[in-house]
Structure 1
Amino acid sequence: MSDNGRPSNETKDAKKGRIVIFSSVIVIVLIGAIVMMILSNQNRNEAKPKKKQPTHRTEQATRIDYQDQPFIGSSNAPVKVVEFSDYRCPYCKEFEETVVPKINKEYVKTGKISFYYINYTILGPGSVLAANASEEVYHQNPKAFWAFHKAIFDAQKNEKEQWVTKKLLIDIAKKTVPSIDSKAFESALDTKSRQSEVDKDNAIAESLGVQGTPMIFVNEQVIDGGQDYQALKQAIDKALASKK
C-alpha cells in the first residue's frame, strides 16, 4: 500500500502476474483436455472394424445363384455364361442383337454352354418396371420369356426417353406370350409383385462388383471386354479347354 491508501505499483504488478499465471494454467488445462478428446476419438475409431474394400479375390468368392434364372441351353453344359443387363441400356441392346445370336449358334445349340440373363436395373424406374414384367412372364411361362425379352430390346428407344410404360409392356406381352394371364400380368406391374426377384438379381450383381451393363461372366469369372464377341469367344474356348 502507498502512503495515501492506494495500491502501490508493486501490488498491481503482483496481481497482474497472478492473473497471467492463472490464465496460462487454464489455457494449458483446456489444451490438455482437447488433446485427450482427440486421442480418445482416434482410439475409438481404430477399435471399430474397418469395412474391407472389395477386391478381385473377394468378389470372385461370391457364387452366382443360377436357380430360377432364365437361360438357354442345357443346364448340364460344362460352361455357364451370364449376362448382367438393363433393358434400357443401349449397349445391352447391341450385345443382344450382335453377340448373343453368335454364341447361341456356336456354343448354346452345340451343348457347350448355357447362357443366363440376370437383371441389373441401374437406369431408373423404367428399368425396374421392365425387369418386373420380364420376371412375371418368366414366372408364368419360362419358355416364352425369351420372345418377350427380345421384344423389349426391339422396342428400346433413346436412353434419355422414358419409353418403358405399362401399356407398352402389356402390348408386348400379348403379342409374344399368347397364353399370358393378362390380369395377373397387369397386377404384377401395378404392385411390382416380382420386385423380390429383381432385388435378388441386383444383389448378385452388387456382390460381384458389377459396375455397368452389359457385364459378362464365364464360369463366374468376369470377362474384360466381354461384350465383344471375339473376347467372349476366347474366354469361352479357354473355359471349355479347362474342362477336358
Structure 2
Amino acid sequence: MSSKKKEFLKADKDLESGNRKRRIVVFSSVIVIVLIAAVIVMIYQGQLAREEKPQKKQATHRTEQATGINYNGQPFIGSTNAPVKVVEFADYRCPYCKQFEDNVVPQLEKNYIETNKVSLYYINYTILGPGSLLAANAAEEVFRQNPKAFWAFHDALFKAQGDEKTEWVTKQLLTDIAKQTVPSLDLKAFQNALDTASNKNAVARDNQMAEELGVPGTPTVFVNGTMIDGAQDYAVLKQAIDQALNKK
C-alpha cells in the first residue's frame, strides 16, 4: 500500500474518531441539559404543590374552640354567675337527646344547677329533617314570647317524642303542648310562626354555630367551651364539670 493511501486512511480514521467524540460530547450535553430541566421541573412542581396544599385546620374540639360558643340569646337554666357553662347541642327528634334529658339533666340539676355551680344551655342542631326544624322553630317562638316558659315546653316536647322513623312532629302537637305549658300564649302568633317558619334564622344560626364548632352529632355537650366525649354518661360529664370547677 502506498504511503499516500496510508495517510488518506489515517486521516479518514482520525476524522471519524473526531466526529464520534463530538457526537458523544453533544449527546452527553443533551443528557445533562435534560436532567437539569427535569430537576428544575420537579423542584417547581414540589414548590407549587406546597403552596396549593391547604393548611391543616386546628382541632375544633376536645380543646378550646377556635370558634367560641355564643351564649347570648340562648335559653338556659341556672345562675348567670355560675362558674361553669354546660351546653347541649340537640335535636328534639333525636332519641339519644331524650335519653340525655331523661337520665342526665335531672342529676345535673340536683347536683350542680340548683347549687349555682352550673348553668345549662340548650342550642338547636336540627339534623333529622323537616320535623326537627318545625320543633326547633316552635321552641324558638315560645322562647321569644315567654323565656321562662321555654323549659316547660322543652321538657313536654321531649316527653312527647315519637319514633324517629315517623314524622310525629306536627303543628297540632306543638300547638297543644304550647297551650298546656306557656302562660298567656299568643296563640295566633305561635301558629303563624309555625306556618311561616318565622324563627328559621335563629335556628339557622344555631346550626351554623354547631357546624363551626365541629359538632359531630346529637347530643353533643360542651363544658366551658370544650367538647366532652361520652358526656351522655353522667359520670363522664360530672368528671368534666368537677375539673372545670377546680380550675376556678
Q: TM-score range by the shorter chain?
A: 0.7 to 0.9
1:54–1:209 Cα contact (<8 Å) kept: no
Alignment correspondent of 2:59? 55
C-alpha distance in structure 1 between counterparts of 2:51 and 2:247, whole Å? 45
2:149–2:183 Cα contact (<8 Å) kept: no
Count the aligned residue pairs: 207
Does 1:147 pair with 2:152?
yes
1:59–1:207 Cα contact (<8 Å) kept: no
C-alpha distance in structure 2 between counterparts of 1:81 and 1:145, whole Å? 17
2:89–2:124 Cα contact (<8 Å) kept: yes
- Residues 48 and 147 of structure 1, relative CA distance in 2, 3 Å threshold: same
Does 1:200 pair with 2:205?
yes
Alignment correspondent of 1:30? none
Give the aligned residue type for 1:50: P
Give the aligned residue type for 1:148: F
Equivalent of residue 117 in structure 1, options 113, 118, 122? 122
Alignment correspondent of 1:167? 172
1:156-179 CA-to-partner distances (Å, cap 9, x unmatched) read 011000000111100110011131
Question: What does residue range 90-101 of structure 1 map to in structure 2 within 5 Å?
Answer: 90-101=95-106
1:59–1:209 Cα contact (<8 Å) kept: no
Question: What does residue range 183-222 of structure 1 map to in structure 2 within 5 Å?
Answer: 183-222=188-227
**Paired residue secondary structure (1:178):** coil
Does 1:71 pair with 2:76?
yes
- Residues 158 and 136 of structure 1, relative CA distance in 2, 3 Å threshold: same
C-alpha distance in structure 2 between counterparts of 1:78 and 1:220, whole Å? 12
Give the aligned residue type for 1:60: Q
2:86–2:121 Cα contact (<8 Å) kept: yes
Deviation at 1:51, TM superposition (A): 6.4
Name the TM-score, length of structure 1 as normaliser.
Answer: 0.79
Does 1:240 pair with 2:240?
no
Name the TM-score, length of structure 2 as normaliser.
Answer: 0.78
Question: What does residue range 6-85 of structure 1 map to in structure 2 within 5 Å?
Answer: 48=52, 50=54, 52-53=56-57, 55-56=59-60, 60-85=65-90
C-alpha distance in structure 2 between counterparts of 1:69 and 1:199, whole Å? 13
Deviation at 1:45, TM superposition (A): 7.5
1:176-226 CA-to-partner distances (Å, cap 9, x unmatched) read 113110110011111111011101111111111001100010000011101
Which consecutive segments of 4 or more residues in structure 1 shift more than 6 A? 39-46
Extract unaligned runs of 5+ from structure 1. Answer: 1-38
Alignment correspondent of 1:89? 94
Extract unaligned runs of 5+ from structure 2. Answer: 1-41
C-alpha distance in structure 1 between counterparts of 2:46 and 2:90, whole Å? 43
**Paired residue secondary structure (1:82):** strand
* Identical aligned residues as a percent: 63
C-alpha distance in structure 2 between counterparts of 1:64 and 1:106, whole Å? 24
**Paired residue secondary structure (1:116):** strand
C-alpha distance in structure 1 between counterparts of 2:67 and 2:54, whole Å? 20
**Paired residue secondary structure (1:111):** coil
Equivalent of residue 138 in structure 1, options 134, 143, 159? 143
| More divergent stretch after superposition (217-226 vs 59-68) | 59-68
| More divergent stretch after superposition (59-68 vs 131-140) | 59-68
**Paired residue secondary structure (1:69):** coil
| More divergent stretch after superposition (206-215 vs 55-64) | 55-64
C-alpha distance in structure 1 between counterparts of 2:81 and 2:51, whole Å? 48
- Residues 126 and 42 of structure 1, relative CA distance in 2, 3 Å threshold: farther
2:221–2:231 Cα contact (<8 Å) kept: yes
- Residues 47 and 147 of structure 1, relative CA distance in 2, 3 Å threshold: same
